[in-house]
Amino acid sequence: MRLPDFPWDLLAPYKKIASAHPDGLVDLSIGTPVDPSPEVMQAALAASGNAPGYPLTIGSTQLRESLSRWIRTKFFPTGDIDFLPTIGSKEIVGLLPTILQAKKVLIPEVAYPTYQVGALVAGAQWVGVNDDCESWPTDGDLVWINSPANPHGRVLDADQLRAIITWARATETVVVSDECYFELGWERDPVSLLQMADGDCRGLLVAHSLSKSFNAAGYRSAFIAGDPEIIGTIREVRKHLGLIMPAPIQRALAAALDSPSEIGQQKERYRARRTMLRSALDSAGFEITDSEAGLYLWSTRGEECWKTVAWAAERGILVTPGIFYGTKGASHIRVALTATDDDIRRACERLA
Ligand SMILES: Cc1ncc(COP(=O)(O)O)c(C=O)c1O
């Protein structure tokens, strides 16, 4: 199997240049949270060190109650639905085509690279598609959608999601909506695929994660929800492979889900950082496109992205070239909001 080169290695020379800045590197390249994980998660984890037995793949009774409540309250789905905790959402993005034995996987044409990797690992063909489902190939087994999207922050609205569901039913394609940035809407409130299912989740799945909204990427805590039959298949495979969320993490995940107010405070931090950074990028002559939601400003100076990456590196700022996400991203850079207030302030001063 031939996987693409790990793209971050290509950024190393620019990191070296940016790190030589007299006032140090400001790294806005990776979407990894930097603020503290919620106390409730930390306390639940600290209290859960005694875990002699194997945890349940489906999640403990406590976790299942918390997940069920969360899913019903957030996405108010009706009808038959099941769910499963996963080890981060990257696990499911990477493995789902293999688990479902997909032969042809549709992925967004500008996207998180792991959708493509997941198809390659499964030995499946992959095809990049735009947001208009009418133009999609009808002979795929699985389509990934991502709203709000990484890297460009676009949100699929209710009509687009309804059209995708209709298309999926007509073409018998499984739709998986990666909604790991769901809580981070700025100019538009994200809508979940589950909210549009009208009580019939057949062929539909959503993937959610606590990594970004709860500053919990280190916990690897996420879940999928949707079609009980598909979840059943995934559960069986994960049981056989021993892909189980560790018991202490299950407790921490339940504690977080029982404390939804934790998200609000973090969201306000990102809102303030986004406002500052957006205005600094505007003043420095960047055009910011999409970026309605999520953790990134998808920005362009109307030139080839590596040129902009070099320009930023000379100012001690590391950003991600849009080409990492597909050829259509070749004239954009992705600027992450996941840095401390101090780093965001320093980045803004340097952009000025
Ligand atoms: C679109 C998208 N999906 C999934 C993930 C994986 O997140 P995690 O495994 O932390 O849940 C990321 C991480 O950046 C992402 O951007």
What is the spatial distance between Cα 122 and Cα 94, in angstroms, rounded to a whole number? 9
CA of 180 from ligand 1 middle (Å) equals 6
pLDDT, position 18: 98
Instruction: Report whether pLDDT(322) > 80.
Output: yes
Pocket test for ligand 1, best of 112, 221, 245 (most atoms within 8 A of CB): 112
Measure 295 CA to ligand 1 centroid, in angstroms.
11
Give me the mean pLDDT over the 138-162 stretch. 98
Q: In this predicted model, what pLDDT tens digit does every residue of 299-318 receive, in sequence order?
A: 999 999 999 999 999 999 99
Domain harbouring 267, CATH code: 3.90.1150.10
Does residue 11 sit in the same domain as residue 81? no
Note the pLDDT of residue 126.
97
Q: In angstroms, what is the span from residue 338 Cα to ligand 1's centroid?
A: 14
At 1 the pLDDT is 78
User: What pLDDT shows up at residue 52?
Assistant: 98
The CA distance from 296 to 311, in Å, is 19
| 25 domain-assigned | yes
pLDDT the model gives residue 78: 82
The string of pLDDT tens digits covering residues 249-261 is 999 999 999 999 9
Q: What is the largest CA-CA distance in the chain?
A: 59
**What is the predicted pLDDT for the residue at 79?**
85
pLDDT on residue 9: 85
* Residue at which a domain ends, from 224, 257, 290: 257
Domain count, the chain: 2
Residues having CB closer than 6 A to ligand 1 are 31, 88-90, 93, 112, 146, 150, 178, 180, 209, 211, 217, 222
Q: Within this chain, do residues 182 and 322 fall inside the same structural domain, yes or no?
A: no
Residue 7 pLDDT > 80, yes or no?
A: no
Range of the domain at 110: 49-257
d(CA 293, CA 255): 26
Residue 344: predicted pLDDT = 98
- Rounded mean pLDDT, 56-83: 94
Q: Where are the alpha helices (DSSP H) in 2-80?
A: 12-19, 39-46, 61-75
Least confident of 8-12, 118-122, 133-137: 8-12
Last residue of a domain, one of 257, 272, 305: 257
Domain boundary among 207, 223, 257: 257
- CATH number, domain of 224, equals 3.40.640.10
Residue 40 belongs to some domain of the structure: no
